[in-house]
Chains A and B, each alone.
Chain A
Amino acid sequence: MARVLSFTIVLGTAVTVILFWRRVWWFPPNISTQGAGVDREFGLTLLVTGILFVAAQLILAYCIGRGRKSGRAAYNTGNLRMEVARAVLAAATFIGLALSSYRTWARMYFIGAPRNALRIQVEAEQFAYWFRYPGPDGVFGPMHLRLVNDATGNYFGLDPTRDPASRDDIVTATLGIPENRPIELLLMSRDVIHSFYVPQLRIQQDIVPGMVIPIHFTATRTGDYEIVCTQLCGLGHYAMRAPLKVMKEPNFKKWLAKQAAEQ
């Protein structure tokens, strides 16, 4: 049994290392400016924990498989100095890792969006997302709870007849954004907690009813992606998603104009 177990542990460790090394399954490519920080942080942590993982498993396998010795073990009840040294080393390593993630986190959450950011409202409901652009006036018209009506397409409860600011607002089912321009999303939910997750953007944020949660990012690569919900929101959770379209600036302008025309 000793041989079998230590062999299993070594084999499992080797397979794990190879799968990580060869990146058989991996993150989708990053398409945002802050994503590189996330990826770097992941890589650094993987390196450190990987070393600890391999070391621990191999020592364990060695202890098991070293074969039987006869006689008694040494009466060894510990070694305080060694234990303290290892605890301090572990603490320093782990805290170092946590602190090293500070910059990326600060960039995502401590500083607000730049002034020139394009602001878009996101409204989540069971089980869909809707997006609203403020239009040429740059102002979101007020929302009226009583007017919200999915059947008539008034997802945000707008009243263009009374509120001039609402008249040029554009509401879409696709999140279209220009490349290389800061985007600020204002996340809102109408019923339960949802979430906004785009793996390629390295962004995930819960959308909590009763709160407006701002997030910001800059997409760096055009293409079609998916926004998915990651917070259990009911029976349609698995299918709750919306398309994300990252476009060159001129294409984005054209796209938005087309959306406006279709309102």
Chain B
Amino acid sequence: MTPTHSQAIPRKAARGFLRKYVFSTDHQIIGKQYYFLALFSALVAMLLSWLMRVHLAWPRLAIPGLGELSAAGAPNGMMTPEYYLSLLTMHGTLMIFFVLTTAPQSGFGNCFLPAQIGADEMAFPRLNMLSFWLTFTSLGALLSSFWARGGPATSGWTAYPPLSGLGSITGPGEGWGQSLWIISIALFCVGSLLGALNFITTTLDLRARGMTLMRMPLTAWAWFVTAILMLLSFAVLLAACVLLMLDRAAGTSFFIPAGLIVSGQMIQGHQGGSPLLWEHLFWFFGHPEVYIAILPAMGLTSHLLSCFARKPVFGYRAMVWATIAIGFLGFLVWGHHMFVSGMNPYSAFAFSVLTVVIAVPSAVKTFNWLGTLWGGRLRLTTAMLFALGFVSIFVSGGLSGIFLAEPPVDVQLHATYFVVAHFHLVMGMAAMFGIFSGTYFWFPKMFGRMMNETLGKIHFILTFIGAYCVFMPMYFLGMAGNVRRYAQFVDPYLQPLMPLHRFITVAALGLGAAQMIFVFNLFGSLFGGEKAGENPWEATTLEWVAASAGKDLVVYRGAYEYAVPGKEKDYVMQNAPDASGSRAEKGARDGNAN
């Protein structure tokens, strides 16, 4: 059987390259596999966003090379409207599922959840391998739709029926492309469910001695709560995908109403299904999903601010409860995506109030981040810079959520670029900042080398400025009534906004180019980076415990014991035994736990 964490059975030496690096059951290898899968997806998705942005700013420009890539989608390099929608769908789907759900949770989580709680493996290693390969297959299914007849799906990452439910009659990409999209997402759901099962069990059962829940690092808390959200929400998305697939393939009428006429053709055989039913199911998953994307980054930010401000987390307990509250309330607010959908207006108002309530734990977190920084002794490593950037960007994106939570204001701003700005900042960019800070922070542990800090800092400042230049102006576009998901801006009232669009596109190209610095730094450091010490950041948590300490860890204190008065160093590791392990010491810890 597999080794257990407290028995000193040496890990079986893995045989062969395939077993060791491909079909591995080692959580660290699986974590890295997830990480590189996400990195690859992010690069593809970013490339797609470049194409979209260039097309939006200069619609009549032939994009060199695009014609060769897809003769049908971009004859002579001129993008067709349906191809724009395909790129949009692929960009959104890749980013949401394969980047933001994958890297911070499955990637970093696999690498460091066991390490941080003092386990030496996940609870179900083979299940873990299966989760990864399901995700991998899911990505393959999605990308293969680029070569499907009609191209990839065109219905956005939300796939509202009837557009997504009737086959290619509603447009190119709605045939094979949409089917592959649904299959891909269903596979992704299964992979994520198994992954979540593993994370939760690991957190509950495999903590080291003394690692009480209230001593867990906030990253571990975030992975734990995120896993619960995944466990419950992906089950619903899976169910919704089954229903949509049946509507498409078996002629059922869950979502497809009766009596439709598409392109002059009567659609036979469907009865009174409801598109709103899909919207409810989708957003019941969709809202928790945005917290799945952001919670790990929030946890990481708390972790890093404390480590690099050399101060305990301000209000550890409040942070934990805020995470739990977000997780719980996240299931009650899905209706805020549907204020103008034709849903009952009374329930819309209830959703509105619940939505602003969920803003409170986020506000608490922001207060506490600032509280952690206040009076700190900041060490501005690249990881810290990205954590600081996260706070700034999260605030800039999060506050606009208050507008969208008020139904009458949402009526004006819904489906405009205001929303695009909101979610790219609060979820997209903020989570990307989390991924970056995690990479710079944990790289030494993952690969035994340091990343180049100078390149890292250049990467940071360009990304920070770039993110603002790309996404802040979109608020103004949205206020001016600029609708999202448009392949071109042909309406006369949008013409005055074109200069702003060109500015955004130029900024997006720059932002993308800056990411090449990151890629270069990552791979360069992988092979040529300076060798890392055991605990290069002087952090307190268990993943930095020297391997020589053995597996039998015992935890004596909370996760953020920085600047403890009377100690020799300005940090005390969680597993450092205390000579004076007395009641007084315990009292100090409980006070800390506040």
> Which residues from chain A sit less than 8 Å from chain B, CB to CB?
1-2, 4-5, 8-9, 12, 16, 19, 24-28, 34, 37-38, 41-42, 45-46, 48-49, 52-53, 56-57, 59-60, 63-64, 68-80, 83, 86-87, 90-91, 94-95, 97-99, 101-102, 104-105, 108-110, 125-126, 145-146, 148-151, 190-193, 195, 197, 199, 202-206, 208-211, 213, 226, 228-239, 241
Contacts of A151 in B (CB 8 A): 264
Contact A197 B409 (CB under 8 A): no
Known: A83-B367, A228-B491. A42 touches B414 (CB 8 A): no
Known: A1-B385, A76-B314, A195-B340. A145 touches B377 (CB 8 A): no
Q: A72-B377, A73-B309 are in contact. List 5 more A-B contacts (CB 8 A).
A: A27-B479, A49-B403, A60-B392, A228-B481, A229-B483
13 contacts between A and B (CB under 8 A): A38-B411, A45-B409, A76-B312, A78-B371, A94-B402, A97-B402, A105-B349, A151-B264, A204-B340, A204-B412, A211-B276, A228-B483, A238-B488
B565 interfacial contact with A, CB 8 Å: yes
A59, A75, A150, A230 pick with most chain B CB within 10 angstroms? A75
Contacts of A209 in B (CB 8 A): 162, 257, 260, 275
Contact A95 B402 (CB under 8 A): no
Contacts of A9 in B (CB 8 A): 392
Shortest distance in angstroms between B557's beta carbon and chain A's nearest beta carbon?
A: 12
Contact B318 A99 (CB under 8 A): no
Closest to A91 in B: B360
Closest to A99 in B: B353
Contact of A205 among B162, B340, B477, B565 (CB under 8 A): B340
Contact A57 B411 (CB under 8 A): no
Contact B491 A63 (CB under 8 A): no
Shortest distance in angstroms between B441's beta carbon and chain A's nearest beta carbon?
A: 16
Closest to A108 in B: B408
Interface segment, B20-28, B30-38, B152-160, B537-545? B152-160
Known: A5-B388, A208-B342, A209-B275. A12 touches B411 (CB 8 A): no
Shortest distance in angstroms between A228's beta carbon and chain B's nearest beta carbon?
A: 6
B171, B310, B355 pick with most chain A CB within 10 angstroms? B171
Contacts of A105 in B (CB 8 A): 345, 348-349, 352, 407-408
Contact A234 B392 (CB under 8 A): no
Closest to B414 in A: A204
B315 interfacial contact with A, CB 8 Å: yes
Shortest distance in angstroms between B217's beta carbon and chain A's nearest beta carbon?
A: 15
Contact A101 B406 (CB under 8 A): yes
Contact A230 B399 (CB under 8 A): no
Number of A-B contacts (CB under 8 A): 335
State the CA gap A59–B373 with chains docked (Å): 9
B72 interfacial contact with A, CB 8 Å: no
Number of interface residues of B (CB under 8 A): 121
Which 8 A-B residue pairings sit nearest by Cβ, starting from the closest?
A210-B257, A199-B481, A109-B345, A78-B315, A25-B476, A238-B486, A94-B356, A230-B415
Contacts of B340 in A (CB 8 A): 195, 204-206
Contact B392 A125 (CB under 8 A): no
Contacts of B492 in A (CB 8 A): 226
Contact A191 B376 (CB under 8 A): no
Contacts of B407 in A (CB 8 A): 101, 105, 109
Known: A38-B412, A190-B260. A90 touches B360 (CB 8 A): yes
B39 interfacial contact with A, CB 8 Å: no
Within 8 A of A (CB), among B363-413: 363-364, 366-368, 370-371, 373-378, 380, 385, 388, 391-392, 395-396, 399-400, 402-403, 405-409, 411-412
Contact of B262 among A71, A98, A126, A205 (CB under 8 A): A126
Contact of B156 among A191, A195, A232 (CB under 8 A): A232
B85 interfacial contact with A, CB 8 Å: yes
State the CA gap A12–B371 with chains docked (Å): 22
Contact A149 B264 (CB under 8 A): yes
State the CA gap A155–B471 with chains docked (Å): 41
